[in-house]
A = this chain, B = another copy of it.
Amino acid sequence: MKPLPDSQALITDLYELTMAAAYFENRCQDVASFEMFVRRLPRERSYMLCAGLEQALDYLENLRFAPQEIEYLRSQPVFEHVGHDFWEYLAKFRFTGEVWAMPEGTPAFPGEPLLRVTAPIIEAQVVETFLLTTIMFQTMIASKAARVVEAAQGRDIIEFGSRRAHGAGAGVLGARAAYIGGCAGTSNVASGHLFGVPIYGTMAHSFVMAYADEAEAFARFERIFPHSILLIDTYDTATAIGHLAARGLKPAAVRLDSGDLIETARQVRADLDAAGLAGTKIFASGDLDELAISSVLAAGAPVDAFGVGTELATSRDAPVLSAVYKLVEVEIAGQRQFRAKFSESKTSYPGIKQVFRYADATGCYVRDVIGRAEEKHSHAITLLECVMRGGKRLRPCPPLREVRDRAHSLLQRLPRQYRLLRNAERYTVRVSDELQALLDQVRESRQL
């Protein structure tokens, strides 16, 4: 059995399907608009970098309920009062709606809609769970990667964390997101094959240990992979460098995976230089994150590139990005009705929206305004684009390399005080007067 079904239709919460049945039985075919946004960022984050849209659109285009999936649903007692027509409907179900979204690689902030779905309410509701998990997971990892890349000050970061990711799928898609966030590549081969992410690899301690002698292990590896990266800390780094010199091996880099990195890197650099291996670089890994990398570089440790695993692949310090998917308007008999939620701290703004981003004369971002979709702000750029209409993509997703380049250049336009790893300033996001007025109007109409 495969770890995931061929069809993705049942990767949803049951309530999406019970609500679908209830809408269907009540003949509710109203067109609804839902928006996805994040209310608050984790304490350790100051921005998001959007990712995952390609997989979200793949899902919407290919969403089908297979016959055996419908059989499974029908066999569940909860559906016993649901009539035959609903199952016929589900067998022919297609997503036919319209999607607006921020393209992958766009920096975004809390409160801003990252994606909007407008579709017959059943369709718009059924896709909620999959869209949330797909976009939020990749956005979380891309955002974490951007911090790690920032810390490395131009040195390469390789994503190494598949073994610690939340299952095989998280490893593959997390590697994709980490690349969007600025990593140079990944160790995850499937992410290379599926998405074109550059792949990197070194060797494991087990390879060194499989041979009776470390020098023999190095020589055997270099014969097949000349100018590669050798792991030199299985036993003792100085002895290992001695083996390289004695055998005339000139690896592209040596990898350090344990110990006090600052001290070890300095000693290893000196030993390499003394052994005539000035051209051999130092690649460091082992429980690194953006703060550790900052410290290592601030101490002047001669590290040329970093492998980051666990902390990046799980966004360990902030492993959740809580987004919501809220109903903002319904079209009933051709008439727009606005919806909002007022309970306690969970207010949501009614109506479909657009995000307007203002830049200064040098192109640096100064503030965003969340407004009604119909508003015009002539000096701002609009962040939400129509990417799907009638259930079909309007254009193919761009190559991932372009997405990564775009993310990099847009992040550079976000002034540095908003990108600090710690105590970053909060970027200004305002609600437009028109949107505020609509909220007040909806609130009043409810109180009447």
Residues of A within 8 A of B (CB): 1-6, 8, 10-19, 21-23, 25-26, 28, 30, 32, 34, 55, 58-59, 69, 72-73, 76, 78, 81-82, 121, 125, 128-130, 132-134, 136-138, 160, 162-174, 187-190, 192-194, 199-207, 209-210, 212, 220-221, 223-226, 228, 233-235, 258-259, 310, 314, 316, 319-320, 322-323, 326-327, 330, 337, 339, 341-344, 346
* Among candidates B4, B18, B25, residue contacting A168 with C-beta atoms closer than 8 Å: B4
Cα distance, A437 to B192, chains bound together (Å): 45
Are A30 and B206 closer than 8 Å at their CB atoms? no
Q: How many copies does the complex hold?
A: 2
- Name the residue on B nearest A231 (C-beta): B15
Cα distance, A145 to B67, chains bound together (Å): 33
Are B13 and A201 closer than 8 Å at their CB atoms? yes
- Name the residue on B nearest A193 (C-beta): B72
Contact A166/B170 with A203-B18, A320-B316 known, Cβ cut-off 8 Å: yes
- Report the minimal beta-carbon distance from A326 to chain B, rounded to whole angstroms: 7
Are A193 and B28 closer than 8 Å at their CB atoms? no
- Name the residue on B nearest A229 (C-beta): B15
Contact A129/B162 with A81-B225, A319-B319, A339-B209 known, Cβ cut-off 8 Å: yes
Are A165 and B343 closer than 8 Å at their CB atoms? no
- Name the residue on B nearest A72 (C-beta): B193
- Report the minimal beta-carbon distance from A36 to chain B, rounded to whole angstroms: 10
Interface centre among A28, A190, A342 (most CB of B within 10 A): A190
Interface centre among A2, A59, A235, A322 (most CB of B within 10 A): A2
Cα distance, A25 to B225, chains bound together (Å): 11
- Report the minimal beta-carbon distance from A112 to chain B, rounded to whole angstroms: 19
* Among candidates B2, B163, B169, B235, residue contacting A3 with C-beta atoms closer than 8 Å: B169
Are B169 and A4 closer than 8 Å at their CB atoms? yes
Are A166 and B168 closer than 8 Å at their CB atoms? no
Are A201 and B15 closer than 8 Å at their CB atoms? yes
- Report the minimal beta-carbon distance from A74 to chain B, rounded to whole angstroms: 12
Are A170 and B172 closer than 8 Å at their CB atoms? no
Cα distance, A82 to B259, chains bound together (Å): 33
